[in-house]
Structure 1
Amino acid sequence: MTFSQSLDSLIKIAIDNNPEIQQLQLQYEISNEKINEVGSLSNTEFGVGYFVSEPETRTGPQTFKLSVKQMFPWFGTLTARENYQNSLADVEFENLSIAKRKLALSVAKSYYKLNAIYGKQVITDKNITLLQTYEELALNAVEIDKASLVDVLKIKMRQNELIGEIQVLVENYKGELATLQQLLNTSDTITLRDYKVLSIPSDIVLNETTDSLQLHPELIKYDKLYKSVSQSEVVNQKGKNPIIGVGLDYINVAERTDMYVTDNGKDIVMPMVTLSIPVFNKSYKSKSKQHQLAQEKLLAAKQERYNQLVAVLKQNIANRNAAKIKFETQTKNIDQADKTEKILMKSYETNTLKFNDLIDVQELKLKFQLMQIDAALSYYLQTINIHYLSNNA
C-alpha cells in the first residue's frame, strides 16, 4: 500500500503506531486504575469456630461461634492514598508527553532530511540538463573551430560525475525512508505530499528565548515527582494515627435439659471495637527524613536539567542563526554565479567560448546550491529542536 502524507499526519501515524507510546499509555491507564485500588478498605474478616468441648454456661452449653470484623483507617487516610496514587499517575502522564514529543522530533528530522535529499536530486538533475546544453554548444563549436573535442569530453565526464551523485542520493533517500518507516512502525510505502526544495524566508524573525523552558514536560515531570513525594509524606503521617476496628461476635448457646433457668439457651451477641496504635513510630520518622532528602534531590536534579536545557536551547538558537547567515551567503554566491555564466555565454557570440571556465562556474554554482540546501536543512533541524524545548503545545 502506498500513501502520501504531510508532516503533521506522519507524526500522528507514528504516535498511533509506536509501541513505546502504547506501552506508556497503558502504564498511565494502569496508574489511574490503581486509584480505585488504594481507595478501598481492607478485607472484612469472617470467622467460624466450633466448640469440640462445649463450655458450659449458666444458660446452656456454647456450640459454635461466628465473628465478623472490619478495620477502618484514620479519617482522611484513604483520600491521602488516592491523592498519592493520582500524583504517580501524573508522573506517568508526563512520561507519555515526553515520549510523544521526542517521537515527533525524530519524525520531523527524518522528514526534513528527505526533503533535503529531494532538493539535491532536483538541483543535480537540472545541472545535468544544463550540461547537456553545454555539450550541444561544444559540439557546435567544434564544427566551427571554436572548441575542441577535449571540451566535449570534459563536459561528458562532468555529466558522468553528476549521474553518479544522483545514484548516491537515491541510496541516501532509501536509507532515510527506511528510518522514517521504522519510526512510523509501518510496512506501507511512504510518499511525502508536500515535497519541496528547502529554503528559508528572507523576512523571518528569529526571537526565541529561554522563558518558556520552565513549562517543558521534562521539567514539569520533576514538579510532579516532588508532589508525589509530598503526597507520600501525607500518607506516612496518616499512618501514625490509630486504626479503628468494628466487629461482632455471635455465640450459639444450646438449651439446658437438666434444669430450667431464666434465658435458657439464649445466644450471645457481643459487639466489639478494636484500636491499633503504632506505639513505636521510628519507621515513620525515618520515612519523613527520606521524603525530605528525596525532595531536595529532585530540586537539585531539576535545576541541573534546566541548566542543560538552557545550554542546549541557546546552542540551537545560535546554530539556527548561523544557518540563516550561511543560506543568505549562498544566495549571493548563486546570484554571482548566474551573472558570471551569462557573461561567459554572451562572449560566445563574438569569441571562442571558454568551456573550462563555464564548467568551473557550473561546478561552483552546484556547490553553492547544495551548501544552501544543507544550510536550510540545518535551519529546520535547529528549529524543530527549539520547538521541542520551548514550544508548550
Structure 2
Amino acid sequence: MKTLFKVIKISTEFLSFGTTKYTSSFRLLTSIFIILQLLQTNLSQAQNLERYLVEAGEKNPELKAYFNDYLATMEQIPQVGALPDPELTVGFFLQPMERFMGNQLADIRLMQMFPWFGMLRTQKDEVGKMASARYEVFENAKNNLYYQVKSIYYEMYQLEEEIRITEENLKILQTYERIALSRFKSSGTGGSSSNMPSSGSMDSPTGTSSGSSMGGMSSGGNNARPSVKPAGSVVSDGGSMASGKSTMSDVLRIRIQLKELESNLLTLQDQKALLLTEFNKLLNREMEEAVILTDTLREATIPLDKIALLDSIRINNPMLKMLDAEAEAYEVQKEMARLNGRPMLGIGVNYMPFSARQENGMDMGGKDMIMPMVSVTIPIWRKKYNARHKEAEYNQLAVSQRKEDMVNQLEVEWSRAVRDLEDASRKIQLYKDQAKLAEQTVQLLMTSYSGSGQGFEEVLKVQQQLLDYQLKLVEAIVNQHMSIAQIEALM
C-alpha cells in the first residue's frame, strides 16, 4: 500500500507540472478510490507482484522513453511563451555622412516585436494541452506494461501450480503402480506353479506377456488372454492366473499415464523458462534472475458493480483523456488562428551618433540623436488565417470521432473482461465441487479395488478427471485475476 500511495503521489505531481489542470479533481479521486478497492481484494498475496510492478515502472526502457517524450513536450512551453528575440541593426559609415546636425558616424537600431495581446498565453496553453496528451500516452503505456507484468506473473504461477499438481499425481500413480504390482505378485504366487508359466515375464513391460497385455488393453478388456501359450501349460477358468493378468494390464495402464505425465512435466518446465525470460526482460533484468511467486492465489472479487466500472473507464481511461486533451488543444489552435490575424506591434529606438563639423572655423553640430520607433505588421492576406482556423476545426472533429470509436472499443473490452470474470468465478465453484466429488469417488473405487481387484480402469479414469479438475481450477483462478488486471488497465 505504501508503494501504491507513492505512485499516486508521483502521478499527481506529474499532472500539476503542466500548465493545464483537469476540469475536476473528482475524476482523480474516483480513480484512486477504485484502484484502492481493486487492490484491497487480494492485497496480502500481491505484495511481491506490487514490488515487481514498481520495478518495471522504474526500469522498463520503453516506459521511460514515453515519459521522456512527455518531458520533451513540456520543455516547449517556455519556448512558445517567450517574446521574439529583439533585433539589433548596426550600420557604420566608411566616410562620415555630412548632415545639418554634423557628421553622422553610424546608424544603430534596436527593435522588439510584441505579438497581439493574449497570443503568448494562448501558445503556452496549446503546448500545455499537447503535453497533457503526451502524459496520457505515457499513462496508457504504463497501464499496458503493468498488465503484461501481471499476465506473465499469473501465467508463471499457473505453471508452478500445474507442475506441483502433476508431480503430486505422479506420486499417486506410482503408489497405484506399487499396489497393482503387489496384487499381481500375490495373485501370481497364490496359485499352483503349473498355472504360472509366464508370471516372471509379465512383471516386466518389455517382456512377451507385456506385449500381450497391451493387446488386451487395446481390445478394451481385462480378461484378454495371450494368443500363444507355452506348451504344456494349463490355464484355469477362474483362478489366480486370470486375476494376475488383469492386474498386469492395470500396471501397464499406469505406466502409460506415468510416461504421459513425465512428458507433460518436461513441457511445463520449458514453458517456465520462456516465461521467466519474458518477465525479466519486461523489468529490464537478467534473463535467469529468480522471480518470487505468491504461495497461493486466492479468489478475488471486484467490490463495484459492472456499470460503475464502465463509468470509471469512461472517465479515467488514459486514451480518452489523451483525446480530450487533443480536442482542447485544437480548440486553442482556433483561437491562435484568430490571434495570428491580428497585427504585431514593434517598439524600438534608433540611435545616430554625430561628430562636430568645421564650418568657417567653428564646430557645428555634433550632438547625438535618439529617435523612438514603432512598427506594426499588417496581416492583409486573410486566406492563410482562415485556412488555419478550418484546419483546427477539422482536427477537432476527427478527434471527436476517434473518441467515439475509442469509447465503443473500450465498452467491448469491458464487456469481454466482465464476461470472462463472471465465467471464471462460476468455473471456480464448479471445479471445486467436481474435484471434491472426484476425490470421494477415487477413495471409494480404491477401497473396492483393494478388496476385489476389479475396477482399476475406473480408478485411473476418475484419477485423470481429478487431475483435469485441479488444473482447470488453477486456470480459472488465474483467468479471474487476468480479467481484473484487464479492467484495471482499462481504468
TM-score, normalised by the number of residues in structure 1: 0.92
Q: Are the counterparts in 2 of residues 214 and 220 from structure 1 also a CA contact under 8 Å?
A: no
Name the count of aligned residue pairs. Answer: 386
Instruction: Indicate yes or no: 2:368 matched with 1:267.
Output: yes
Q: 2:258 aligns with which of 159, 178, 199?
A: 159
Aligned runs of 1:15-164 on 2, under 5 Å? Answer: 15-145=57-187, 147=244, 148-164=247-263
Q: Which residue identity does 1:387 align to in structure 2?
A: E
CA positional deviation for 1:121: 0.6
Q: Are the counterparts in 2 of residues 341 and 358 from structure 1 also a CA contact under 8 Å?
A: yes
Aligned runs of 1:202-221 on 2, under 5 Å? Answer: 207-209=305-307, 210-215=310-315, 216-221=317-322
Residue of structure 2 in register with 1:196 after alignment: 295
Quote the Cα distance in structure 2 between the aligned partners of 1:287 and 1:368.
65
Instruction: Indicate yes or no: 2:383 matched with 1:279.
Output: no
Q: Which consecutive unaligned segments of at least 5 residues does structure 1 have?
A: none
CA RMSD of superposed structures (Å): 2.2
Residue of structure 2 in register with 1:297 after alignment: 398
Q: 1:341 aligns with which of 442, 462, 472?
A: 442
Quote the Cα distance in structure 2 between the aligned partners of 1:161 and 1:333.
23
CA positional deviation for 1:353: 4.5
**Mean CA deviation greater in 150-159 or 109-118:** 150-159
Q: Are the counterparts in 2 of residues 213 and 306 from structure 1 also a CA contact under 8 Å?
A: no
Q: 1:371 aligns with which of 450, 458, 472?
A: 472
Quote the Cα distance in structure 1 between the aligned partners of 2:255 and 2:288.
36
Quote the Cα distance in structure 2 between the aligned partners of 1:206 and 1:318.
15
CA positional deviation for 1:314: 0.5
Q: Are the counterparts in 2 of residues 124 and 166 from structure 1 also a CA contact under 8 Å?
A: yes
CA positional deviation for 1:226: 0.5
Q: Which residue identity does 1:109 align to in structure 2?
A: S
Q: 1:205 to 1:48 in 2, by over 3 A?
A: closer
Deviations 1:144-196 (A, max 9, x none): 32653232232222212211111110011111111112211211634343433
Point out the structure with max Rg over C-alpha.
2
> Identity percentage over the alignment?
27
Quote the Cα distance in structure 2 between the aligned partners of 1:261 and 1:35.
60
Q: 1:59 to 1:75 in 2, by over 3 A?
A: same
Deviations 1:244-293 (A, max 9, x none): 11111111222121236796212221111111121222211111111112
CA positional deviation for 1:53: 4.8
Aligned runs of 1:227-238 on 2, under 5 Å? Answer: 227-238=328-339
Deviations 1:173-223 (A, max 9, x none): 11111111221121163434343355536x876733311122211111110
Deviations 1:86-135 (A, max 9, x none): 11111111111010000001111101111111111111111011112112
Q: Are the counterparts in 2 of residues 199 and 373 from structure 1 also a CA contact under 8 Å?
A: no
Q: Which consecutive unaligned segments of at least 5 residues does structure 2 have?
A: 1-46, 188-242
Q: Which residue identity does 1:125 align to in structure 2?
A: E
Q: Are the counterparts in 2 of residues 6 and 192 from structure 1 also a CA contact under 8 Å?
A: no
Q: Are the counterparts in 2 of residues 116 and 198 from structure 1 also a CA contact under 8 Å?
A: no
Q: Which residue identity does 1:37 align to in structure 2?
A: Q
Instruction: Indicate yes or no: 2:210 matched with 1:168.
Output: no
Tell me, what secondary structure is at the counterpart of 2:279?
A: helix
TM-score, normalised by the number of residues in structure 2: 0.74
Quote the Cα distance in structure 2 between the aligned partners of 1:285 and 1:204.
52
Q: Which residue identity does 1:245 align to in structure 2?
A: G
Instruction: Indicate yes or no: 2:486 matched with 1:388.
Output: no
